[in-house]
Amino acid sequence: SWVELNCSSRGKPPASFTWFRNSKHGAINVSVGQVYSFSVTEGGEFYCVATNDLGQQRSSVILVSFGVSGVGVCITVKILGLVMLCSAVIIFECWFRFFKKMTKL
């Protein structure tokens, strides 16, 4: 349930590292340091920037997702709702028939 991203370089002088997460409002600084750890539920697009006195280099984007799509959850909720509705109708129908028979006696 945890993800650990590691950034490294062989630069001289040694580099410092900053982790960014892409959002709809632009890149957000999420961590400083070679390793960035976070919960997998906080997935998204991440990249690292290595910086030293001579310049900086950006890594490629790393996409982290945890496999539960909104569409899958939506379909599951709809199916569950449909099953509950059908169950309620069946229970009501059985109850109605039972009391109808009781009134005839």
Which tens digit of pLDDT belongs to each residue from 2-21?
899 999 988 889 999 999 99
Straight-line distance from the first to the last Cα atom of the chain, in angstroms, rounded to the nearest whole number: 62
pTM given for the model = 0.63
38-71, pLDDT tens digit by residue?
A: 988 888 999 999 999 999 999 999 998 876 555 5
- Spatial neighbors of 39 by CB under 8 A, at least 6 apart, are 1, 2, 3
